Amino acid sequence: MTEELMANDFKAWVDQADMPKGKKKVIMAGLKLFSEKGFEGTSTQEIATESGMSQATIFKYFKTKDDLLKFIITPIMENIVPLYVVEFKNELENKKANLEDLIKFVVHNRYQFLVDNKEVALIVLSELLTKEEIKSQFVKMMTSRGPSIVDTFQKLMDQTGEVRPGLTPIEIMRLVVSQILIYFIQNYKIFPGRKETDVEKDLQVIETMIINAIRKPTN
């Protein structure tokens, strides 16, 4: 598993990985169904039907449904997300000290990351609160990678000179992340099929709302 390929696309990695075709079909079926119906809402029979494999074949490659979920989640949490965090941090560092441009970049960049990895993102978001192993992996990743993002974000916020006094970088990031996640879930779980032009307008509204909430008064 090369980091470069994994960072580009988990599905591309599965397609090119050295493993039996049947196993690939099971993985892709699990990815699709877990993201659409949730882990608990997906049966092994449904995975078998979606993949075109028998349940016996599924259990040949994965002893349990949990093992299949772990196979999907672990490389994402340990390889893809950390690489994206580093890339995001590097891009942040090159941004100009302008509040409007900075918030626009963060909103668009993080939303696009969720869209590019929507199946896994939906699985993680749905299982994060119920599965301790996934929660532990997520906390571990955020503990090791999060502080560098916060430090970079704080420096940029300070450089703009536009942020309302009393707001911490954590509070601002919490506001930004919550808005992006809610909108992502809305588009892919509640009201799917939103047009690209409408999404762009919606993101602009989110950006304006965040900027108005954190920008210090001009008078």
26-73: per-residue pLDDT in tens? 999 999 999 889 889 999 999 999 999 999 999 999 999 999 998 888
In a domain, 205, yes or no: yes
| Residue 130 structural domain | 3-214
pLDDT digits (tens, 9 = 90+) for 118-133: 888 888 888 877 778 7
In a domain, 99, yes or no: yes
State how many domains the chain has.
1
Residue 94: other Cβ atoms inside 10 A:
7
In a domain, 91, yes or no: yes
What is the distance between the alpha carbons of residues 126 and 20, in angstroms, rounded to a whole number? 29
In a domain, 219, yes or no: no
Q: What is the pTM of this model?
A: 0.80
What is the distance between the alpha carbons of residues 123 and 39, in angstroms, rounded to a whole number? 8
**Predicted local distance difference test score (pLDDT) of residue 85:** 75
In a domain, 103, yes or no: yes
Q: CATH number of the domain that 67 lies in?
A: 1.10.357.10
User: What stretches in the chain show pLDDT beneath 70?
Assistant: 1-9, 80, 219
- Tokens in use for 215? 């920008």
In a domain, 138, yes or no: yes
Residues in the chain: 219
In a domain, 26, yes or no: yes
User: Would you put residue 68 in left (φ > 0), alpha (ψ -120 to 50) or beta?
Assistant: alpha
In a domain, 49, yes or no: yes
**Predicted local distance difference test score (pLDDT) of residue 219:** 64
